[in-house]
Chains A and B, each alone.
Chain A
Amino acid sequence: MRTRDMVLVIPCSGVGKVHGLISRESAYLVTDELAPEDTDVVCLALLVREDEETLAKVRACPCITIDGCAKACAQRNVEIAGGQVAKAFQVAKALGSHRGIQPGTGSDLTEEGWAVSREIAEAVAEDAVRLCQGEEVA
């Protein structure tokens, strides 16, 4: 039974490394394909800019962040904005489980990079659906 309207997905989208691209594409896989009814993406830049509409959204809905690395820019900024981070993902940790792959660059993902992106997206989508049903996520 659905108890919440929406879960927000916030990627870090860092421009310099492949991690930022994976975070972004993972978010789009969730919102456009895997859980389109349950999720929406939020622009990190708007959040940091303290856009009123964006602040209201993250304070009202549970958030899942997808950061490129341990600097966790998306997670930290959602917390600073007063949002609740229900789950925080890091691309660097996901890549650590795939030794030896070449995921791509900040501009393009290889097939291996897309596979990691999908793996993250599937985990995010699963958590988002559970959150919408009122369950907690670890």
Chain B
Amino acid sequence: MNYAILACTGLDKPEGSVAREVAIRLAETTGAKIICPVALNRTPARYKRALAENRLIVVDGCATKCASKLAAATGTKVAQKVLVSDVVKAAGSALDPGLRLGPGALELARKMADGISENEAFTPKKTRRAGEAPAEMEFEAASDHVVVVHDKYEFRIPATGYYFNANDVWAQVAGTRARVGISDYLQQRLTDITYVDPPEIGATVAQFDELGAIESTKAAFDVISPVSGVVVRVNEAVADAPESINEDPYGSWIAELDLTAWDEDRALLVDGPAYAADVERKAAEE
């Protein structure tokens, strides 16, 4: 398996220098190809072949995630992402403020690179045992919609397969899993979404607990979970390109959960046509 590494190399904090060091070490120890973020931004054609032929690892220094955003802008699928600031936080230590890396920071970079190259940082592929549910569930795209028209606005609601809570958050269920996202009505009210803070993988939430947050230029919104469960996946594509929720609110899910109380939760949710009636009422009241 061949890899390409895209590291942020930010120059305004030490985490950028660590990200750079991780990329250099990975290139030296595994032969992975380094993708220069500046060159990728300026002349993306230069790396077209490298991105097509290699699995891409992205190393970001901080929560601004410039390298992830750059990868998303090129449409390249990312095999693995590493965030230096998260690793530093988990290690319980802080980096020295300067941009030149000291022994501690160099050691951290070495460990991060070796961890990636030894596949420790990769999510292991589960082998399915007999009777065990598949790791990836199939969630079908909505094919039929109810449309609520109010003034110049048209709000689309999937006619079947989606359930909504009073906070305009939907759940789509497949087997014992559910995906969660926000409705077309809510994304239009929020307008341009600029940030998505997904929940932590492994977090246990009850129905009506907070399941991450969304920010737009207009408002900040806590995503209220329509279901109880354990978070097993978050949608990295949405975190990297939050505007995808505005473009496709029912395809741009935020988190996927293993359900723990679906029968009870279902009783407090409404289906598409009933939610459409709620949207009509809410729109008229505004």
In the complex they form, whether A and B have CB atoms below 8 Å apart is answered with: yes
B-contacting residues of A (Cβ < 8 Å)? 17-19, 69-70, 92, 95-97, 99-100, 103, 138
Chain A residues with CB below 8 A from B192, complex form: 17, 19, 69-70, 92, 95
A-contacting residues of B (Cβ < 8 Å)? 41-43, 64, 191-192, 194-195, 215, 217, 242-243, 246-247
Chain B residues with CB below 8 A from A18, complex form: 217
Chain B residues with CB below 8 A from A17, complex form: 191-192, 217
Chain B residues with CB below 8 A from A70, complex form: 192, 243, 246-247
A96→B193 CA distance, assembly (Å): 8
A69→B218 CA distance, assembly (Å): 14
Interface of A is mostly: loop
A95 lies within 8 A of B217 (CB): yes
A98→B64 CA distance, assembly (Å): 10
Known A18-B217, A92-B217, A138-B41: A99·B243 in contact at CB below 8 Å? no
Known A18-B217, A99-B215, A138-B41: A92·B195 in contact at CB below 8 Å? no
A20→B192 CA distance, assembly (Å): 12
Chain B residues with CB below 8 A from A97, complex form: 64
A19→B246 CA distance, assembly (Å): 15
Known A70-B243, A96-B242, A138-B41: A19·B217 in contact at CB below 8 Å? yes
Given contacts A99-B195, A138-B41, 14 further A-B contacts (CB under 8 A): A17-B217, A18-B217, A19-B192, A19-B217, A69-B243, A70-B192, A70-B243, A92-B217, A92-B243, A95-B192, A99-B194, A99-B215, A103-B217, A138-B42
Chain A residues with CB below 8 A from B191, complex form: 17
From B41, B42, B191, residue with most partner A Cβ within 10 Å: B191
* B126 nearest CB across to chain A (Å): 35
* B218 nearest CB across to chain A (Å): 8
* A15 nearest CB across to chain B (Å): 12
